[in-house]
Structure 1
Amino acid sequence: MKQMYIPVNTSLSFLLISLFATIMPAQAQSAASAKASAATSTSTSTPTSTAKPSLTVTATQVGSGQMATKLVANGSVAAWQEATIGSQSSGLRITELMVNVGDVVKRGQVLASFDSEAVRADLAQAKAALAEAEATALDSIANADRARGLQASGAISKQQIGQYLTAEQTAKARVAAAKASLDVQQLRLKYTQVVAPDAGVISARMATVGAVLGNGAELFRMIRQGRLEWRAEVTSADLSKLTAGMTATVMAPNGEQTQGKVRMVAPTVDVTNRAGLVYVDLILPKDKTAAAFKPGMFARGEFLLGSSQAITIPQQAVVVRDGFSYVFKLNPDQRVTQVKIQTGRRMQVNGSEQIEVLSGINAGTQIAASGVGFLNDGDLVKLVAPSAAVGAAPAAPAAKK
């Protein structure tokens, strides 16, 4: 009995083990299949719309309109006319100076005075000489009148009558000479005061108190009427585009701007640099703008030549990368496409700078208007109204996992 029981139990054990080994792999394979199916259904059930945008931007359309055509030039600021004020008295000493450099003077204002004592003495002497000549002339005229009365009676000879008439003419000539001498001394007295020949600004002073100067010595220099002009250097190719009366905008080195009008275009061109001068009268208001422009300084300006039709975009919609200009076109799927453009003129419109697009994009195309410096080609963006983006700093692009 014992020998028959052992084989039966051994066969049953082998049977159970074989059945268990068959069932367990099947269950494990079913579980793995269920997990894979669940993962697949989860991934397929997640919509693409839940992808996070890289940046919140505002949109604008590429516009078109009239844009001014300008010619840029460089040049120097100079006085319209600089008057030289000199001395008309010789050998006189300067006693007083009334003005200094930078003073604004009026026409006829006294600028300097010379010592007038010697001139006044000469003037008194000339007056006395005139009085003596006039007295002598009265006597000569009376004698000549009596001689004319006796000429018909023959009481005196013709020779004596001729002498009286000659003495009369000589006396009158001496009176005229004395008057001329008196006028000279009066002019000398007048010239002891140096007056401004015109209104303007004193730009230089060479005179010093106590100096004895000769006739014609330079005392002051003055910018007539305080007028300044901008002498722009324009190439010979562009010189024909400018005419008298055109407007120009001139910028000082500190950034201050003022308006001007072309007064004259030079009739010749410099043979060294093949450029001609354009004289522009500056219109300087009486504020800090006038102080920003001084004769001799360098200035940059633009001439307004007219206007033409152009495709324009806001300056903030352009990003420069690797030396080229780009904009980001907005697609219907809220993604952006980087587009290379060629820019041209620039213009201020209602405080916003507009840039002309020469090629690369058409009018009416919708582009990103803000945050373009953080965008890349193909980025997903979120559009908001322009007012919602005012004052908000652009967000950084979302990190890609």
Structure 2
Amino acid sequence: MKKYIYSLGITVLVPVSIFTGACSSDHAGTEVKKANPVPVTIGIAETTVDSNIHVSGYIEAGETAEISTRVMGFITGIHVKPGDIVKQGQLLATISNQDIQARRAQAKAMVTEAEAALNDAQKDYERYTELHQLQSVSTREFENASLRYTSVKAKAEAAQQMQYEAEAMLDYTNLKAPFHGVVVQKNMDAGTMAHPGQPILILEQSALHRVSASVPEVYIPRVRKGMPVDVIVKSTGQSIQGTISEVSPSSRFSGGQYLLKIDIPNSTHYTLYSGMNVNVVIAIDEHLATHEHIVTVPAAAIFSKDQLTGIYTLGSENTALLRWVRIGRTIGNRVEILAGITAGEKFILAGDERLYNGVPVAIQ
């Protein structure tokens, strides 16, 4: 009986010791690997004194025309496409005009008939005038001849005006370019029914551009026509000198913003297209400046994810700490920070693609 109990103890203890040894062996072979520090450059959020006005805007053509017709009819041909350079007076599109040509022919026939009747009435009037002076006809007969001549003359004039109207309507079936420019949009194709006032083509002046921008109410007392401005094209970084040419006196129909128009020089050195976004810097006279204190960081330190904007700051034990911020204006190569970081706070200015939230960093 004792032998049986002793053998059972061995049977139970041996598997336990094997399991314990296995676990101990596995734990000893596992090592926790830590990420290598990412080399970074540190910057400090600065307080900038800014006395200028910074607003956003966009490039627009000096002139824009929506090419449409005043008559209803099928489009028989469109002779240009988007991107084509056109000259003033060049034929752009044609509308079916058989009915208008028929009306013009009718008007011409009426003019011919009216001119013949007018010629006959004029001769009668001249003859009756001479006879009346010789007192060979009564005053009543002379007045009847005069009234007939006046009536026929009015009908001839009406027939002539009908012909002018038909010819004018015929001109609206041949759509021509109102100025030198470029075709930027084609809304219809040949065979489509054109309706009065419905744009068929959109034409923009290719050689002349200007900037449209909006200024909040707080800045409008310091903005005047003729003031010089700096225009920075966001996509290319080009800096262009411009001049304010128009200042809207009302913000009623523009959402509380006052619209500005800025003239920029016509130069082949600039690569400009309508719709390009720009930053506008308006230099304010010293006696009108407010010298606003703002917090800025280099634009290169800001990154965007989805609809959020963030910057990496230094966390405890030199780790990268992602912080979401709210940005404002772009001032040169720096960005205004409205919320999320304060003046004097350190942030990661530059790192490599291995940078992420919580990774150790090595300050260089």
Fold similarity call, TM over 0.5: yes
Q: Cα–Cα, structure 1 residues 167 and 299, in superposed 2: closer, same or farther, change >3 Å?
A: same
Q: Which residue of 1 aligns with 2:124?
A: 143
The answer to whether structure 1 residue 253 and structure 2 residue 235 are counterparts is yes
Q: What is the alpha-carbon distance in structure 2 between the residues aligned to residue 216 and residue 102 of structure 1?
A: 23
Q: Which residue of 2 aligns with 1:220?
A: 201
Q: Which residue of 1 aligns with 2:274?
A: 294
Which runs of 5 or more structure 1 residues have no equivalent in the other structure? 1-67, 308-321, 324-345, 349-396
Q: Cα–Cα, structure 1 residues 174 and 276, in superposed 2: closer, same or farther, change >3 Å?
A: closer
Q: Where do residues 361-376 of structure 1 align in structure 2 (5 Å cutoff)?
A: none
Q: Cα–Cα, structure 1 residues 74 and 149, in superposed 2: closer, same or farther, change >3 Å?
A: closer
CA contact (8 A) 1:248 1:262 kept: no
Q: Where do residues 240-389 of structure 1 align in structure 2 (5 Å cutoff)?
A: 240-244=221-225, 245-268=227-250, 276-283=258-265, 285-286=267-268, 289-290=271-272, 293-295=273-275, 297-305=276-284
Q: Cα–Cα, structure 1 residues 283 and 178, in superposed 2: closer, same or farther, change >3 Å?
A: same
CA contact (8 A) 1:105 1:202 kept: yes
Q: What is the alpha-carbon distance in structure 2 between the residues aligned to residue 266 and residue 134 of structure 1?
A: 55
Q: What is the alpha-carbon distance in structure 2 between the residues aligned to residue 80 and residue 264 of structure 1?
A: 13
Shift of 1:301: 3.7
Q: What is the alpha-carbon distance in structure 1 between the residues aligned to residue 254 and residue 118 of structure 2?
A: 70
Q: Which residue of 1 aligns with 2:58?
A: 76
Shift of 1:96: 1.4
Q: Which residue of 1 aligns with 2:16?
A: none
Residue 162 of structure 1 is aligned with which of 143, 164, 179?
143
CA contact (8 A) 2:187 2:200 kept: yes
Q: What is the alpha-carbon distance in structure 1 between the residues aligned to residue 248 and residue 242 of structure 2?
A: 17
Q: What is the alpha-carbon distance in structure 2 between the residues aligned to residue 146 and residue 109 of structure 1?
A: 52
Amino acid at match of 1:191: Y
Instruction: Give SS of 2:271's match.
Output: helix
Asked which structure has the greater CA Rg, the reply is: 1
Amino acid at match of 1:294: S
Shift of 1:130: 1.2
Amino acid at match of 1:260: G
Provide the aligned C-alpha RMSD in A: 3.9
- Which protein has the bigger helix share? 1
Q: What is the alpha-carbon distance in structure 1 between the residues aligned to residue 255 and residue 141 of structure 2?
A: 82
CA contact (8 A) 2:212 2:259 kept: yes
Q: Cα–Cα, structure 1 residues 138 and 272, in superposed 2: closer, same or farther, change >3 Å?
A: closer
The answer to whether structure 1 residue 204 and structure 2 residue 194 are counterparts is no
Shift of 1:279: 2.9
Amino acid at match of 1:147: Y
Amino acid at match of 1:243: R
Q: Cα–Cα, structure 1 residues 232 and 148, in superposed 2: closer, same or farther, change >3 Å?
A: closer
The answer to whether structure 1 residue 183 and structure 2 residue 158 are counterparts is no
Instruction: Give SS of 2:235's match.
Output: coil
Shift of 1:154: 5.1
Q: What is the alpha-carbon distance in structure 1 between the residues aligned to residue 254 and residue 114 of structure 2?
A: 67
Residue 103 of structure 2 is aligned with which of 105, 114, 122?
122
Instruction: Give SS of 1:151's match.
Output: helix
Q: What is the alpha-carbon distance in structure 1 between the residues aligned to residue 104 and residue 255 of structure 2?
A: 59
CA contact (8 A) 2:118 2:149 kept: yes
Q: What is the alpha-carbon distance in structure 2 between the residues aligned to residue 146 and residue 264 of structure 1?
A: 66
Q: Percent identity?
A: 22
Q: What is the alpha-carbon distance in structure 1 between the residues aligned to residue 134 and residue 260 of structure 2?
A: 83
Instruction: Give SS of 2:119's match.
Output: helix
Q: Cα–Cα, structure 1 residues 155 and 104, in superposed 2: closer, same or farther, change >3 Å?
A: same
Q: Write the deviation string for residues 74-108 of structure 1: whole angstroms up to 9, x where unpaired.
A: 33334445332220223x32211122223333332
| Worse overlay, 201-210 or 229-238 | 229-238
Which runs of 5 or more structure 2 residues have no equivalent in the other structure? 1-49, 287-312, 315-330, 334-363
CA contact (8 A) 1:250 1:260 kept: no
Q: Which residue of 2 aligns with 1:99?
A: 80
Shift of 1:135: 1.2
Residue 132 of structure 1 is aligned with which of 113, 118, 128?
113
CA contact (8 A) 1:257 1:289 kept: no
Q: Cα–Cα, structure 1 residues 212 and 272, in superposed 2: closer, same or farther, change >3 Å?
A: closer
Q: Cα–Cα, structure 1 residues 253 and 165, in superposed 2: closer, same or farther, change >3 Å?
A: same
Instruction: Give SS of 2:130's match.
Output: helix
Q: What is the alpha-carbon distance in structure 2 between the residues aligned to residue 266 and residue 87 of structure 1?
A: 31
Q: Which residue of 1 aligns with 2:342?
A: none
Q: What is the alpha-carbon distance in structure 1 between the residues aligned to residue 192 and residue 147 of structure 2?
A: 49
Q: Which residue of 1 aligns with 2:155?
A: 174
CA contact (8 A) 1:94 1:115 kept: yes
Q: What is the alpha-carbon distance in structure 1 between the residues aligned to residue 151 and residue 257 of structure 2?
A: 67
Residue 192 of structure 1 is aligned with which of 173, 177, 181?
173
Q: Cα–Cα, structure 1 residues 99 and 155, in superposed 2: closer, same or farther, change >3 Å?
A: same
Using structure 1 for the length normalisation, give the TM-score: 0.51
CA contact (8 A) 1:198 1:225 kept: no
Shift of 1:282: 3.4
Q: What is the alpha-carbon distance in structure 1 between the residues aligned to residue 332 and residue 197 of structure 2?
A: 53
CA contact (8 A) 1:247 1:303 kept: yes
Count matched residues: 247
